[in-house]
Structure 1
Amino acid sequence: MSKDRKGFMLIASYFVIAVLLILVAAYVARSVSEWRAAESDKNSVAAFYAAESGIDYALNWLRSQGSPPAGTVPFDLPAGPSIETGTYNVIIDPYNDNPTTYLKKYKIISLGQSGNSRRQLEYVVQVDSFARYVWLTDTETFRWYGDRYAVYFVTGDLLTGPTHTNGHYNISGDPVFNDLVTSVDNYINYLHGGPPDDNPTFAEGVQLGAEPLPLPSKAVDLRTAAVQEGMHITGPATIVFQANGTMNVTCPHENWDNENMPMPANGALFVTGGDLTISGTVNGRISVGTNRNVIISDNLLYNTDPRTNPESTDMLGIIAERDVIIPQTAPYDLTILASIMAMDDSLYVENWSSPPAKGTLTVYGGIIQDERGPIGTFNSTTNQKVSGYTKNYIYDPRLCICPPPFYPTTGDYIGLSWREPPQTPEEQ
């Protein structure tokens, strides 16, 4: 082989080797780049989950406090439980109007970190209220002459809104539940054994074995607010709300006979030592309560009906430390716009077992009671109403965020908003 040919072959070999080296270098560089990108993505996801862990830790910390934190100054939480995938730091920022607001709000700011990646989450929470439910009971039974009896939802009953019981539901026929249904017991009691004779509609599902939600036995906050800056009177008393924002009050102890007066400015009215009878049209925001019974003698309406005008600010809370009673003299097709709470024991219809049937009880708001009270009776074979009212309970969605004044709270928090703020290049 000539020297020129040998030289050409040598040059060609060098060229091929150079090309191969370039390709290998490019492959290695690309692999390193992809590895770094994958590692960055992995760290970013881990940082996100670390930030979520910080949110969970902050919620558990808030729930563990005896009362909602005071003040308006943001504060760091002590170090929480460690996690394998990263670290987190949490700040709780109280809202500036918390000192003058009953349901306090907080912004939880959680910064998660994994490797060089950081992710920040912000979660706004508010103190939770029992007014969040259209239906809540500790038990779906009631005591009658020393024995305990189940109370049923039956064909024709309609509930629209979140429902919960610390016991189990009793079903006969085809009642309709248009929102999530939860119960602590892991079963439902069907009068006829279940479908096809008992075939309820659970439009948003049913969760059995849920966590219990303890109910309070005293309206402490409402009573305190009424004594300090509202209206506190010795009962018995009768109040008829007026559409102009006033109320007519009858109270023998105060020598008031249908006395017209404004509603208390802070929206708190409490009666001690006697029953409170109410009816009329509410214009404004007020909660009424008593350490005895509340008697709803006639329709309770709002001046601006939220069913047709969601911008209505009228709101009524009814809290009895004993029973809430619908008397036998109440009208056919009774309508109550309010969130009702019977702490010990029930909401029930007087002489509930006596015919005839009285149409429909419409509650736009909610019913919370310790023991479920009877509203009427039904024929167990046909599921037709025999006495009392058919139920039409509809949740007022305004109650979730803006319940009646000084309505009892659950000790928990509900989420109002969640976001991940945009990151700066230095944070990515």
Structure 2
Amino acid sequence: MKSRKYLPKAETIKNKKYRRKGSVLIFIVVISAVGATVLLGLVTFVASQDKNSRRESAKEQSFGVAEEGIYWYRWYLAHMIEGKTAREVDEFWTSGNPIGVTIPYEVEVRDPSGGALGKYKLEITPPPTGSSIIIAKSTGWTYKQPNVKRVIQVRFRKPAWCEYVVLGNSDIRFGAGTEVYGMIHSNGGVQFDGVAHHLVTALPEEYWSNDNDVKGWHDGVWTNNPPESERFLAGRQFPVAEKSFNSVIANLNLAKDYSQPGEGGLYLGQDKVDQEYCDWVRVGNRRVWTCWTENKKVRGYHIVFNPVSGEGNDTMSISMVVDYGSNSYKIEEETPAVIYNIPENGLIFVENNTWVEGQIDNEHLTVVAADLTEAEGEPEPPGHDKDIYINNDILYTNKDGRDILGLLAQDNVTVGLYSDDNLEIDAAVLARRGRVGRDYYNDHEPAYYKRDTITIFGAIVTNGRYGFSWLDIAGNWVSGYETRNIVFDNNLLYYPPPFFPTGDKYQIDLWEEL
């Protein structure tokens, strides 16, 4: 029996064909949709990337334009005020119509081909009275995308002399009991036998020492207490550039100007005072209690910061000194104290000797002791130099930059015979013509000629040889403070005392994008 083959009906074959076509169509539609989605996403991504790229390019260009403003302003400072005297710089800021201070200063910037690229706008905050710190804000944008702006703010300042923990103008010797934190520089040679935690530099390549125990030629910086690696923990360097002390007179003159009434400072310059005295006086055969007045010469002023508990931290007690020990620097007689407010601009100018002690709280101050009485051919006549004397602690309440004190003496900054056994001086001290230190005292005052520890938290600037301790020819300690700790106050880098001497070139010490 033959088998039969059944063929599908024509309609069935046709339906299957249509179904296959429908499936292909659906597949094509799906693939097309997916492709379109991918393509749309790709186009969107590319467009977004292009937009972001153009925006980033605009941001970078705006940043470059803002930078151009900062660099131009640095050039402007160099040409307008670098190398000028303190008085000339002050006149520039107060009456020289400096750019960018009263109204923003806008400048168009061009691309390398000469086309207009955009603009920068400079807004300048001038230095406060007695300071060199300038704040410059530069905003940059391009013409293509003016809404895309970049803002740079920088701080310009002149390096202050108090950026060294010790800055000297002659040969300096640091004994074995001295530990110093901060940079040291001298225009003379440096013998360092203690421990220096930071760089020690000197002007000369070599120098002649007249000290009997080490007399002879030595390197600009050296030690008589080897090994060097234990003395100079951050190294030594010589020869280096000189720091001129001659420019300080300009700061003294400017300081005197700003201490006058109406300028926000305090000027103390009275040279005579009526002092009342009472005593038993013999009249005939009897004694009579008698009072009289004498017109006494004022030998100086005694300033005590924050003298009375509860009066607040913005006052000081000031009395006139009419008699003091010429060798001990102890006040023997003074007028009753008068309470003063701390001056608004932080400047106290005393045209006489000055005794300073006490504690400050949230204050930036400078005390100047100088006699600038004019004499023919001599702006500072010999014999008119004035000193600052320290016998008791001078303290900061806060050592985080809120308290800054400068003590600027025309001649010496001297620690007296009857100084505290453990003395702390929180200040940047400067002796323009003389030295910072303590005189030699022998055992005629057995309880005082030798002292325990002195700590300086701040900086020392001294024209003559600094020193708070004395040794004999054999190297034995014979007078002064046995232990000397000198610690640099890092806040002086950014907040030097008002009217403290600075260098003549501006540098950028802070750069940030706002």
Shorter chain as denominator, the TM-score bin is 0.5 to 0.7
The corresponding residue for 1:407 is 500
**TM alignment of 1:299-318, pairs within 5 A:** 299-302=392-395, 305-307=397-399, 310=400, 313-318=402-407
What is the letter of the counterpart of residue 175 of structure 2?
Answer: V
- Give the distance between the partners of 1:202 and 1:378, measured in 2 at CA: 25
Count of residues in correspondence between the two structures: 370
The corresponding residue for 2:462 is 369
**Equivalent residue of 2:366, what SS?**
strand
Q: Percent identity?
A: 17
**Equivalent residue of 1:296, what SS?**
strand
The corresponding residue for 2:176 is 155
CA-to-aligned-CA distance 1:14-57 (integer Å, 9 cap, x gap) = xxxxxxxxxxxxxxxxxxxxxxxxxxx9xx99998998787556
Are the counterparts in 1 of residues 299 and 321 from structure 2 also a CA contact under 8 Å?
yes
The alpha carbon displacement at 1:112 in A equals 11
The alpha carbon displacement at 1:209 in A equals 4.5
| Mapped pair 1:293 → 2:386 | yes
- Give the distance between the partners of 2:256 and 2:302, measured in 1 at CA: 17
Are the counterparts in 1 of residues 393 and 420 from structure 2 also a CA contact under 8 Å?
no
Quick one: structure 1 residues 56 and 353, their matched pair in 2 at CA, closer, same or farther if it must change by over 3 Å?
Answer: farther
- Give the distance between the partners of 1:289 and 1:78, measured in 2 at CA: 43
Quick one: structure 1 residues 419 and 130, their matched pair in 2 at CA, closer, same or farther if it must change by over 3 Å?
Answer: closer
Quick one: structure 1 residues 177 and 228, their matched pair in 2 at CA, closer, same or farther if it must change by over 3 Å?
Answer: farther
TM-score, with structure 2 as normaliser: 0.57
| Mapped pair 1:348 → 2:377 | no
**TM alignment of 1:26-105, pairs within 5 A:** 55=70, 58-66=73-81, 67=89, 69=93, 72-73=101-102, 92-95=122-125, 98=126, 101-103=129-131, 104-105=133-134
**Equivalent residue of 1:221, what SS?**
helix
- Give the distance between the partners of 2:478 and 2:334, measured in 1 at CA: 40
The alpha carbon displacement at 1:344 in A equals 1.2
**TM alignment of 1:239-388, pairs within 5 A:** 239-241=302-304, 242-244=306-308, 245-252=315-322, 257-266=335-344, 267-272=346-351, 274-283=352-361, 284-291=363-370, 292-302=385-395, 305-307=397-399, 310=400, 313-351=402-440, 357-378=450-471, 385-388=477-480
Structure 1: tracts of 5 or more residues without a match: 1-40, 142-149, 422-428
| Mapped pair 1:221 → 2:221 | no
TM-score, with structure 1 as normaliser: 0.66
The alpha carbon displacement at 1:420 in A equals 4.6
2:196 pairs with one of 172, 176, 179 = 176
**TM alignment of 1:102-141, pairs within 5 A:** 102-103=130-131, 104-107=133-136, 109=138, 122-128=152-158, 130=160, 132-139=162-169, 141=170
- Give the distance between the partners of 2:202 and 2:60, measured in 1 at CA: 35
CA-to-aligned-CA distance 1:205-253 (integer Å, 9 cap, x gap) = 5454544433333212321121234233235223141444321312459
- Give the distance between the partners of 1:358 and 1:221, measured in 2 at CA: 38
Structure 2: tracts of 5 or more residues without a match: 1-55, 82-88, 143-147, 207-218, 271-297, 309-314, 324-332, 371-384
What is the letter of the counterpart of residue 223 of structure 1?
Answer: K
- Give the distance between the partners of 1:263 and 1:74, measured in 2 at CA: 35
CA-to-aligned-CA distance 1:164-188 (integer Å, 9 cap, x gap) = 435255224342234x444444565
The alpha carbon displacement at 1:392 in A equals 1.2
**Equivalent residue of 2:392, what SS?**
strand
What is the letter of the counterpart of residue 365 of structure 1?
Answer: G
